């Protein structure tokens, strides 16, 4: 599992960590029940504070992606398809929002956009 954080990005590091782990879970790199590295090990490897990794894990647990067992560590929660779908929907909407924004500001019509979308979907 790779986790790459950027110190110069505006996004707080704990957010970077939690969203990357989320992606790994969604994409299947991290399977159900898989053990996550301990907060301390992650902190050491990424050269960040243990408070940061703790926060990231807390957020992941709050969002239902992982479960923390006292004394044992953190594990990927049972795949909750609902949650995952929700997340994917959200990301897709984000991207579409951007496309709409650009289209509107350059005079591209909704019809054009529709066509583009169908073409792209069929291509893949």
Give the separation between CA 77 and CA 22, rounded to whole angstroms: 11
Residue 101 found at the interface with other proteins (CB under 8 A): no
Segment near other proteins (CB under 8 A), from 27-35, 47-55, 81-89, 111-119?
47-55
Backbone angles phi, psi at 94, to 5 degrees: -55, -50
Give the separation between CA 7 and CA 46, rounded to whole angstroms: 11
User: CB of 21 within 8 A of CB of 36?
Assistant: yes
Residue 44 found at the interface with other proteins (CB under 8 A): yes
5, 38, 63, 79: residue in contact with other proteins (rule CB under 8 A): 38
**CB 12, min distance to other proteins, A:** 6
Residue 68 found at the interface with other proteins (CB under 8 A): no
Residue 49 found at the interface with other proteins (CB under 8 A): yes
User: CB of 25 within 8 A of CB of 64?
Assistant: no
Q: 75 pairs with which residues across the strands?
A: 35, 67
Which residues bind to other proteins, rule: CB under 8 A?
8, 12-14, 38, 40-41, 43-44, 47, 49-52, 55
């Amino acid at each position: 599992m790779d986790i790459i954080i950027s110190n110069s990005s505006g996004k707080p590091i704990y957010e970077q960590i939690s969203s990357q782990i989320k992606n790994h879970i969604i994409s299947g790199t991290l399977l159900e029940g898989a053990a996550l590295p301990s907060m301390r090990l992650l902190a050491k490897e990424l050269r960040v504070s243990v408070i940061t990794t703790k926060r990231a894990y807390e957020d992941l647990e709050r969002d239902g992606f992982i479960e923390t067992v006292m004394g044992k560590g953190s594990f990927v929660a049972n795949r909750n398809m609902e949650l995952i779908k929700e997340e994917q929907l959200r990301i897709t909407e984000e991207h579409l929002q951007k496309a709409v924004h650009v289209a509107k500001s350059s005079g591209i019509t909704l019809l054009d956009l529709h066509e583009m979308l169908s073409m792209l979907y069929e291509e893949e």
